[in-house]
Amino acid sequence: MMNPKTPKESAVEMTEMVLPNDTNYLGNLLGGRLMHWIDIAAALAAMKHSGRVCVTASVDEINFFEPIKLSHVVKLYASVNRAFKTSMEIGVKVFREDPLNGTIAHTSTAYLTFVAIDQYGKPLPVPQLIPVTDDEKRRYDEALFRRDQRLKNRELKKQAEEKKEEKK
């Protein structure tokens, strides 16, 4: 039996600086680069929580609220929102800081699902999550709602594919 963990125990803070190679022709951080950083931060949180190798099962949502510019400092905060049997929902909040004037803005939020696996790629159980603060409890509850939506969407897509095959 694995010991349950709190979100704080597996929280990750990652810091990056936006360099010229990270930007598009407008001087904004490339969306793909930010998604890469989000995936890394989320993977670290999943591995810290589970103590196992974890893989990205899905990227459920990424919202971009504000652009991030060349030379901005990017801070990513990742934590487990909820643990299921072998999977975990990880939430990532992204902030930018202008090092010249100190202004900080929340730029992005993302939700990803990770699965713990063994050396053969088979799913493994993960420790349960015990939310402590009101915010952690809210995120815990919302994660179940998002999971239910993912499963419903998956079923609808499967049905649509089956109907498509029937018409052939």
pLDDT tens-digit readout, 69-118: 999 999 999 999 999 999 999 999 999 999 999 999 999 999 999 999 99
Q: Which CATH architecture has domain 7-167?
A: Roll (3.10)
State the DSSP string of 37-63: HHHHHHHHHHHHHHSSEEEEEEEEEEE
- pTM for this model (two decimals): 0.91
Task: Evaluate the CA torsion angle 15, 21, 27, 30 in order and state its sign.
Answer: negative
> What own/partner pairs with CB < 8 Å and gap ≥ 24 does 103-108 have?
105/65, 105/66, 106/65, 106/66, 107/64, 107/65, 107/66, 107/67, 107/68, 107/74, 108/34, 108/38, 108/62, 108/63, 108/64, 108/65
Q: Which of 45, 126, 42 is nearest to 83 (CA)?
A: 126
pLDDT tens-digit readout, 23-51: 999 999 999 999 999 999 999 999 999 99
Tell me the domain boundaries of the chain: 7-167
